[in-house]
């Protein structure tokens, strides 16, 4: 069972992620993008799911902060999946160095497959 961190202030996204992933993974949630780094240090998740639209610090900024901390050796590298609002946001996901992304609304099967394949790819690199 993998540890996942979900960063979203939208309850419906949290519910959909829990429904799609809860059986195979332990899902931890924070509601503010600015809490991402602290939550990563506390939970040590295998993967981070970042909602693109989070109130005080969006998914792109949170992803860049994670990558910066990893680059400085203060955090262990881990995959990040961004949950995007529209196809055009793929540009932002790429430039924030996300490993993968999914456009909302969330398809539970696609999310489960994406999380599994992203975790498998990360494990193969270790």
Q: Beta strands 2-7 and 25-30: pairing type?
A: parallel
Average pLDDT over residues 79-94: 94
Whole-number pLDDT of residue 66: 97
Range of the domain at 9: 2-125
Q: What is the pLDDT of residues 92-123, one digit of tens each?
A: 999 999 999 999 999 999 999 999 999 999 88
Q: How far is CA 75 from CA 36, 47, 59, in A?
A: 12, 13, 18
CATH code, 67: 3.40.50.2300
Q: Is the pLDDT of residue 85 over 80?
A: yes
Looking at the whole model, is its pTM more than 0.85?
yes
**How many domains is the chain built from?**
1
State pLDDT tens for residues 39-81: 999 999 999 999 998 877 888 999 999 999 999 999 999 999 9
Q: Tell me the average pLDDT across 14-22.
A: 95
Nearest to 50 by CA among 38, 36, 70: 36
């Amino acid at each position: 069972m993998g540890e996942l961190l979900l960063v979203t202030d939208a309850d419906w996204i949290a519910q959909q992620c829990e429904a799609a992933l809860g059986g195979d993974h332990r899902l931890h949630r924070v509601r503010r993008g600015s809490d991402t780094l602290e939550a990563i240090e506390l939970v040590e998740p295998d993967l981070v799911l970042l909602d693109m639209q989070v109130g005080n610090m969006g998914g792109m900024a949170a992803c860049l902060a994670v990558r910066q901390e990893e680059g400085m050796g203060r955090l262990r590298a881990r995959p990040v999946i961004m949950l995007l609002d529209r196809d055009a946001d793929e540009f932002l996901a790429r430039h924030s160095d996300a490993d993968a992304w999914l456009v909302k609304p969330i398809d539970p099967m696609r999310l489960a497959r994406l999380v599994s394949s992203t975790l498998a790819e990360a494990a193969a690199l270790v």
